[in-house]
Amino acid sequence: MADNTFHIAMYPWFALGHLTSFLHLSNKLAERGHKISFLLPPKTKSNFEPFNLYPNLITLIPIDIPHVDGLPPGSETTADVPFPLHPLIMTAMDLTQPTIEFHLRNLKPHFVFFDFTHWLPALSRKLNIKSVHYYTISPATVGYLLRPEIKIADNKIRTEVDLMNPPPSFPRSSIKLRAHEARHLAAGAKREFGSGISFSQRQWICFSECDAVSFKTCTEMEGPYCNYIEKQFCKKVILAGPVVPEPPSLVLDQEIERILDNFEEGSVIFCAFGTECLLNKDQFQELLLGLESTGLPFFAALKPPIGVEKIESALPEGFQERVKGRGFVYGDWVQQQLILQHPSVGCFVTHCGSGSLSEAMVTKCQLVLLPNVGDQIINARLMGGDLKVGVEVEKGEEDGLFSKNGVCKAVKAVMNNDSEVKEEVKQNHTKWREFLLSQGLEDSYIDGFVQKLHEMLL
């Protein structure tokens, strides 16, 4: 390699959204001649090969996953198991430490990028490799939930009351939590996540011991939150910019394309909740009934609800007959990025995963925000409150449940032509879409990102 290029090892958390986000960044860096060694589970390797745009520079290296009691055979990523078993995926990743050390010793990269493997900074330091904590979620989420100024590392446990409001020095924003959200997140922070360590402790160690922290965002969108993280952790924060996914080279599935082609431009509601989000049956039905109530055509890509094997078994009574010809529900994986770009799609009902929002922000689809867990909640407040590019579905303050009427109301707010809300969110979305797609923006951020990595090696 030339003197001005370097070699990076990538070892993301075994969740598809995280793996995808790391690969997007890898493509941006490989475009500039940098070498990437991407460590990932064996079965996942074949799924990601089509998205490796620079196979001459990005090497996908399969890592054998140790068996962990309680994990179904063949489980590799969080998409393979229900949410309660996610900590066991982390346990399996912790057990890969000797394998990762072997690879790092042989590869001798300049950097290792990671997110949840808290032992990597110490291992990297021993091998004289710089560690970068590349966070796929927003700095607003990290600052609000991890609360560095309150020193969680000193065994101060976050309570539901603590999380209802932002920490004292947090930037002014629209971000606050409701009772049910704070209760859920406080419990999650204490939950063991991997080998005898809580999730919040794991994150604290990652932030405290890495050489630098990096986020996939822009100063223009989340600058105050980035500054907050940098000040509170006394750690260099490097921004990679928006890392807008490359336009897919594949074409849309013909069956789905035929469905969407039947409808007018901007008239279809697309609803998708990612590869891991599972609703209970009641909420699943409320969501579909809400889409039906809009009177608009819709295409919903949802996993079967908890305890149900096939999507057809969970549909509301008489639903298929009532929506025939205008409502379609798929229980399989779909090409989300291509669907969002189809001319007939005018509204995206999303669970607010960071990857989904990244794809949606560069389209013309109006956003309806329906977060489920964790960082999705902060993402929804950021999008609906700070940036005002979407409308969040109302939920019960205590139970966190949404209704069909709430879903219908949010969709109509962004789709009805006489809605003042529609005009506001459309104008804001247009402004940010044009900004994110503006010529030279991404190149400027990635070039600056590379320059700061070079400075770390001096």
CATH code where residue 302 lies: 3.40.50.2000
pLDDT given at position 247 = 72
Dihedral sign (CA 271, 189, 379, 86): negative
Percent of the chain residues past pLDDT 70, beyond the cut: 97
Q: How many domains does the chain have?
A: 2
Same domain? For 305 and 410 the reply is yes
Domain range enclosing 85: 7-246+439-455
pLDDT given at position 157 = 54
Q: Is the pLDDT of residue 380 over 90?
A: yes
The most distant pair of C-alpha atoms in the chain lies apart, rounded to whole Å, by 67
Q: For 182-204, what is each residue's pLDDT tens digit?
A: 888 887 777 788 888 888 889 88
Same domain? For 343 and 388 the reply is yes
Q: Is the pLDDT of residue 225 over 50?
A: yes
Same domain? For 222 and 288 the reply is no
Cα gap 119→206, rounded to integer Å: 8
Average pLDDT, the chain: 91
User: What's the distance, CA 453 to chain centroid?
Assistant: 24
Same domain? For 332 and 237 the reply is no
CA neighbor of 420 nearest in space, from 388, 395, 387: 388
Residue partners of 117: CB distance under 8 A and separation at least 6: 11, 13, 93, 94, 97, 100, 206
Q: How far is CA 233 from CA 131, 187, 378, 402, 419, in A?
A: 15, 24, 20, 37, 43
Same domain? For 404 and 356 the reply is yes
Averaged over 7-31, what is the pLDDT? 94
Q: Is the pLDDT of residue 154 over 70?
A: no
Structure tokens at 363: 């389209």
Same domain? For 401 and 269 the reply is yes
* Residue where the block lists tokens 């057809």: 312
Cα gap 298→291, rounded to integer Å: 7
Burial class (CB in 10 A: 0-12, 13-18, 19+), 160: middle
Give domain status of residue 190, yes or no.
yes
Q: For 42-51, what is each residue's pLDDT tens digit?
A: 999 988 998 8
Same domain? For 149 and 231 the reply is yes
Burial class (CB in 10 A: 0-12, 13-18, 19+), 411: buried
Q: Tell me which of 122-126, 309-313, 347-351, 404-408 is least confident.
A: 309-313
pLDDT given at position 148 = 77
What is the set of active-site residues?
18, 115
Higher pLDDT, 128 or 417: 128
Give domain status of residue 120, yes or no.
yes
Same domain? For 289 and 397 the reply is yes
Q: With bands split at pLDDT 50, 70 and 90, how would you rate the model's confidence at 156?
A: low
Cβ atoms of residues 42 and 76 within 8 Å:
yes
Same domain? For 110 and 175 the reply is yes
Cα gap 206→209, rounded to integer Å: 6
Q: Angle, nearest 10°, between helix axes 441-457 and 16-30?
A: 90
CA neighbor of 118 nearest in space, from 41, 196, 203, 198: 203
Cβ neighbours, 10 Å, residue 90: 23
Q: What are phi and psi of 447, to 5 degrees?
A: -65, -40
Q: For 55-83, what is each residue's pLDDT tens digit?
A: 999 999 999 999 999 999 999 999 898 88
Is this prediction's pTM over 0.85?
A: yes
pLDDT given at position 405 = 96
Same domain? For 53 and 174 the reply is yes
Give domain status of residue 1, yes or no.
no
Give domain status of residue 2, yes or no.
no
Q: With bands split at pLDDT 50, 70 and 90, how would you rate the model's confidence at 451?
A: very high
Cβ neighbours, 10 Å, residue 172: 8
Cβ atoms of residues 215 and 236 within 8 Å:
no
Percent of the chain residues past pLDDT 90, beyond the cut: 68
Same domain? For 312 and 214 the reply is no
